[in-house]
Chain A
Amino acid sequence: MQIDITVNGTAESHDVEARTLLVYYLRDAVGLKGTNVGCDTTSCGACTVLLNGESVKSCTVLAAQVAGEEVTTIEGLALEDGRMHPVQQAFQECHGLQCGYCTPGMVMAITSLLAENPDPTEEYIRLGLEGNLCRCTGYHNIVAAALAASQALEMRQ
């Protein structure tokens, strides 16, 4: 079936099977490989993308379900002038990653958390990241990056 989704502001239209999961639509049909498949069971959060600005796990959404809607992936986060998004920048500055596999999902999840609560506590961030697993960092620098990003976003406004 023909499925039209706006991905990172670009209208995409691809003929895929009805059973195509959003993450494979993004990776294989659109060709954006930044969204990773981790557990494939709605647990690890590596495949997190934004659907109309809210975080979702794209391994548990059919592309068909979101036809006509707006999806943002890690590739669509950078600012128009090419600079990194404040959440990406904070990950770099706080060393919020080691192997990097969970990072796109972490960045997208945090972007959604900060949109819902621009002035978060550490507890809010830690609870809000319960659906994103990282096997390297112990989360400390990820949480630090999220808090730094919230301050950077606040200053930008």
Chain B
Amino acid sequence: MIPATFDYVRAGSVDEVIGLLGEHGDDAKLLAGGHSLLPLMKLRLAQPALLVDIGRLRELSYVTEEEDVIALGALTRHHDIATSPVTLSSVPLLAHVAGQIGDPQVRHRGTIGGSICHGDPASDLAAVLLALGATFVAQGPNGRREIDAQDFFVSFFEVALRSDELLVEIRVPRPLDARWGFEKLTKRAQDWAIVGAVAVRSRSGVGVGLINLGPVPLRSSAVEAAVVAGSNAAEAAAFAAEGTEPSADFNGSVAYRQHVARVLVRRALEKAGV
């Protein structure tokens, strides 16, 4: 399968990217590692007129530790997140999940920013970043702005970036004394989750993320509220399907997926020490 023709520009700086986006608008598409976009282009489900390759903007690939925050450059690869001493010591949940995406070859190319901006409701990283209360930093012609993870995922494969903005950084509040659980149901190792759940409990509270249970990655405020109110894992997990709208396909019905969500949320909560 070969993508449709496109014009190709390799961007040399963030400012150049923003300029190109301003000029070409929705005709332009950013290419990071390409492991979400290129498969879509090969299937001709995406046919951008202009591909702006941002993959060489090395200044957007880093994992750094600030006082209360772990900052990840948008072009940090899954492999680097899985093996970074910073994530391994300060946010091991993130390292664990990044290390399970796709396979080693995919993790050598795919980036956290590309994955997030793709807006796939089945994304493991998106649900984890929701549960961790992350903030996304967008840069556009008027400078930078921060977007709460909860406001970022707008609808099916649509995120809150404007057409002349790019995601430059992901900021994760350092979870203090955190325990966590990450559970996903797949038929084969490489697969996207049919259903997945993540729970984080730290001194600053509890976060629960749901994978593939609606048009966007979800944060389960109903489960979180139950935990805060003193429910145990089984009691709180009973609320896991609230507000979810999973689609039915050959992997399972709506009722099946909602049932699995309750099971996986309970397991994740138990691992998180709830």
Q: Tell me the A residues contacting B by CB distance below 8 Å.
A: 1, 17-19, 21, 24, 40-43, 45, 48, 51, 54-57, 60-62, 64-65, 67, 109, 112-113, 127-128, 130-132
Contacts and interface: CB of A to CB of B under 8 A. Distances in A.
Contacts of B26: none
A65 B105 contact: no
A45 B103 contact: yes
Given A64-B8, A131-B102, 10 more contacts: A18-B6, A19-B2, A19-B5, A41-B42, A42-B102, A42-B106, A55-B105, A55-B108, A61-B34, A62-B53
Contacts of B31: 62, 65
Contact of A109 (B8, B42, B104): B104
Contacts of B89: none
Which 4 pairs between the two chains have the least Cβ-Cβ distance?
A131-B103, A18-B8, A130-B189, A54-B108
Contact of B105 (A21, A41, A109): A109
Contact of B53 (A56, A64, A109, A130): A64
A19 B104 contact: no
Given A60-B109, A62-B38, A131-B190, A55 B4 contact: no
Contacts of A60: 34-35, 38-39, 109
A128 B109 contact: no
Contacts of B39: 41-42, 60
B7 interface: yes
A37 to B, nearest CB: 10
Contacts of A18: 5-8, 51
* Chain A at the B interface: SS class: mixed
Contacts of B3: 19
Nearest to B189: A130
Interface residues of B, number: 29
Contacts of B51: 18
Contact of A131 (B8, B41, B53, B105): B105
B246 to A, nearest CB: 24
A21 B34 contact: no
Contacts of A62: 8, 31, 34, 38, 53
A81 to B, nearest CB: 30
Contact of A40 (B35, B41, B42): B42
Interface string B155-193: 000000000000000000000000000000000011000
A60 B35 CA distance: 7
17 contacts: A17-B5, A18-B6, A18-B7, A19-B5, A19-B41, A42-B102, A54-B79, A55-B105, A55-B108, A56-B109, A57-B105, A60-B34, A60-B35, A60-B38, A60-B39, A64-B53, A131-B190
